[in-house]
Amino acid sequence: MGSEIKKIAVLTSGGDSPGMNAGIRSVVRTCAYLNIDCVGVYRGYQGMIEGDFKPLDARSVNNIINKGGTILKSARCDEFRTKEGRKKAHDQLVTEGIDAFVVIGGNGSFAGALIFNEEYNFPVIGMPGTIDNDILGSTYTIGFDTAINTVVEAIDKIRDTASSHNRLFFVEVMGRDVGHIALNAGVGAGAEEILIPEQNLGLERLLESLKRSKKSGKSSSIVIVAEGDKIGKNVFELKEYVEEHLPIYDVRVSVLGHMQRGGNPTCFDRVLASRMGVKAVESLLEGKSNYMVGIRDNQLILTPISEAIKAHTEIDEELVKVSDIMTT
């Protein structure tokens, strides 16, 4: 391919997501396949600043495709936000003879990569690794599919209890700024209402909807609430509000929390991460830099990182309609 790149580093940064290991494995094995040296950077940008590197060959990534989390560990690193911190990171990369890096992470990790590239013209490609599915330039991020399946499985179990005791459950799922997990898992698990940050359903409509559910003969209900829902009350306040205004309901709350980030990645996330890793290394060797690998219409595409970090992805209005119809 006639490229100057002989050694590529790979790191995971920001919040971990299931499938990151499959992504690391893919980058490492693609390098091995193309006779490029590969180095793992531990603990994201923190490890880059400290020179916490380890050479990785094809066999170093045996038996990790099925594991959640990240073998390289992840970290948030305030020092990388400073010019001095990034200078240290650059010095470490140069000392190690690294010519380019692949960062698997979210918007913040990409913002860091972009500014580093601006300062040092250092080749970088991003792979979207976050359960939130909130990155422009990719229909799916690595970890999203696993997270929604985890949530659906949990809600199926909660439903058993809800229906046995005629209860109403508020289930809080992750999603501070975006409601993709809530909407997709909510439709998949047959939730009665889905409260997402993109829409303000309003307390009155929620009460009306719950009243309708009762009238129509539903004896139990599940309401999914994204963390960042804009209704103005947290999930425990919602419980109190509904109990006060609809005493017929026996309300319980379940906050799913960090279990949503863990677990073995689904086949979808493993395949997605494997495809993205190949594309990331190939792109670097073709001389490309400052792009994020994404997927659209089942085709891998490259989006400038500067575009990818501009905004969050929009909620799928067609799915919102489906959800409205399904809760009739």
Considering the complex, state which of residue 81 and residue 211 has its C-beta at the smaller distance from ligand ATP: 81
Helix, strand, coil tally for the chain in percent (to 5): 45, 20, 35
- Binding-site annotation, residues: 15, 25-29, 76-77, 106-109, 130-132, 159, 167, 174-176, 190-192, 218-220, 227, 252, 258-261
Smallest distance from ligand ATP to CB 316, Å = 19
Residues interacting with ligand ATP, by CB under 6 A?
13-15, 45, 76-77, 80-81, 105-109, 111-112, 115, 130, 132
CA distance 235 to 219: 21
Taking the complex as a whole, how short is the minimal distance between the CB of residue 134 and ligand ATP, in angstroms?
A: 7
Residue nearest ligand ATP, CB atom distance:
108
The DSSP output letter for 265 is P
Q: How far is CA 147 from the centre of its chain?
A: 8
DSSP string for 190-248: T-SEEE-TT----HHHHHHHHHHHHHTT---EEEEEETT-TTSS-HHHHHHHHHHH-TT
* Nearer to ligand ATP among residue 135 and residue 183 (C-beta): 135
CB 284 within 8 A of CB 8: yes
State which residue, 106 or 277, has the beta carbon closest to ligand ATP.
106
The residue annotated as part of the active site, out of 16, 52, 99, 132, is 132
Distance CA 180, CA 133 (A): 7
Instruction: Retrieve residue 183's tokens.
Output: 């909407």
What b/e string do you get for 272-294 counting C-beta neighbours within 10 Å, with b at 16 or more?
bbbbbbbbbbbbbbeebbbbbbb
Q: What is the DSSP letter of 260?
A: G
Q: Which residues participate in the annotated binding site for ADP?
A: 25-29, 159, 190-192, 218-220
Closest CA to 248 of 219, 276, 271: 219
145 is catalytic: no
Nearest approach in angstroms of CB 108 to ligand ATP is 2
Q: Are 1 and 17 in contact (CB under 8 A)?
A: no
Q: Which residue ranges make up the annotated binding site for substrate?
A: 130-132, 167, 174-176, 227, 252, 258-261
Least distance in Å: CB of 255 to ligand ATP?
18
Two structure tokens written together for 147: 């997270």
State in angstroms the smallest separation of the CB of 12 from ligand ATP: 9
Catalytic residue numbers read 132
